[in-house]
Amino acid sequence: MATATLTIDLDAVAANWRALDRLSGPEVQTAAVVKADAYGLGVTRVARALAQAGARRFFVAYAEEGAAVRQALGPGPQISVLSGHMSGDTEMINDLDLTPMLNSLEQITRHLEALPGHPFGVQLDTGMNRLGVEMLEWQAVASILIDAGPALLMSHLACADEPDHPLNATQLEAFHEMTDGTGIPRSLAATGGILLGPKYHFDLTRPGIGLYGGLPFDTSVRAVSLGLPVIQTREVAPGESVGYGCTWTADTHAVIATVAGGYADGLPRTLSNAAMLWDGDVPCPLVGRVSMDLITVDVTHLAEVPKSLDILCAHQTVDDLADAAGTIGYEILTSLGPRYLRRYQERTA
């Protein structure tokens, strides 16, 4: 079988959630961000493992993603929708008991008219200029909205992974200015914000990437491994080249393994001639271009060609691979496509 196996360690995800939960005070609730199919790892299994670990509040990007989480978890846990209440979402928000984080006056009006009394939160823009109600708009509507009883006032930090960035303090100050004295539960921190310390924690934190073993949570436990089957091995003579565009040429006799996995599987083409695969503890350089379904690896130095080579393993995290590709761990994780066979590791309860 040429299909590669993506191994997802649900115990590691649960351990990362507990570790992030311990980083804030006992009065601070820790939610879990499971948007984009739990960062590519599979939302049904991941959300269940997180609920088992103790998570009671979940965040998704779109209402449709909330539907998948509700189906996985059943009634009870609060599921918040970061894109808010879009036209066409009303029925789903109501039927599946989703909590939209309203981002604009338009969404606020839509929600209060369509579903009066249905839980909602408000996302405030404190300086990222992406989503959320801005300061002046907020000042105009805050008193009316607070009477309607939002479940949460939240905002998002643009530079939390850079602790010394001046925007962190500026956003913190703006968030205080917009929310102090409201008496409504508040949330500002994602993974990076948790690591900035207690001033950023408020009542609820919203970690995503740290749950899945990614930076900036540098003490997280690795949650994914990926091994790619070797389909074929060939001998290449000095002067012969390998792959599309002849971008790698052997200068000595070489043994090349062709393995299953390519850019259609979320291995970026920018890894061409720039990454390592691993046979246990032995690194083997990726040579030539990454193609759609295949990559080629120099295994000349191995005594025996293995059945598969690892690309995500103890020696190479998602962030290491991201560095080689010129991107971030978030993009590597969320690009891991549906083509892999997924194997979930979990202690049997």
Ligand X SMILES: *Cc1c(COP(=O)(O)O)cnc(C)c1O
Q: Does 33 bind ligand X (CB under 6 A)?
A: yes
User: Which of 298, 295, 260, 255 is closest to 279 using CA atoms?
Assistant: 298
Catalytic, out of 35, 39, 200, 212: 35
Q: Does 206 bind ligand X (CB under 6 A)?
A: yes
32 vs 207: CA distance, rounded Å: 6
From the CB of 315, what's the least distance to ligand X, in Å?
24
Residue nearest to ligand X (CB): 208
Q: Which of 55, 63, 108, 209 binds ligand X (CB under 6 A)?
A: 209
Residue number with CB closer to ligand X (209 or 313):
209
From the CB of 103, what's the least distance to ligand X, in Å?
10
223 vs 42: CA distance, rounded Å: 12
Residue number with CB closer to ligand X (15 or 255):
15
Residue number with CB closer to ligand X (41 or 260):
41
84 vs 71: CA distance, rounded Å: 20
The piece of 67-75, 136-144, 206-214, 253-261 that touches ligand X (CB under 6 A) is: 206-214
Tokens of 151: 């479940």
74 vs 96: CA distance, rounded Å: 9
Where would I find the H helices in 278-317?
none
Q: Does 20 bind ligand X (CB under 6 A)?
A: no
From the CB of 118, what's the least distance to ligand X, in Å?
21
From the CB of 311, what's the least distance to ligand X, in Å?
22
Cis-peptide, bond into residue 216, ω within 30° of zero: yes
Please, which of residues 102-131 interact with ligand X by CB under 6 A? none
From the CB of 16, what's the least distance to ligand X, in Å?
11
Q: Does 313 bind ligand X (CB under 6 A)?
A: no
Q: Does 207 bind ligand X (CB under 6 A)?
A: yes
188 vs 201: CA distance, rounded Å: 7
> Positive or negative CA dihedral for 328, 133, 21, 24?
positive
Binding track over 152-171 against ligand X, x by CB under 6 A: ----x---------------
267 vs 185: CA distance, rounded Å: 41
Tokens of 27: 């009065």
Residue number with CB closer to ligand X (65 or 310):
65
User: Which of 7, 19, 29, 24 is closest to 200 using CA atoms?
Assistant: 24
Q: Is 199 a catalytic residue?
A: no
Residue number with CB closer to ligand X (82 or 250):
82
Binding track over 210-249 against ligand X, x by CB under 6 A: x---------------------------------------
**Which stretches of the chain are assigned E, i.e. beta strand?**
5-9, 29-30, 32-33, 57-60, 78-81, 98-102, 121-123, 152-154, 186-187, 204-205, 224-236, 241-242, 248-249, 254-260, 276-279, 282-287, 294-298, 308-312, 341-345
Residue number with CB closer to ligand X (33 or 275):
33
* Interface with ligand X (CB under 6 A): 33, 35, 82, 156, 190-192, 206-210
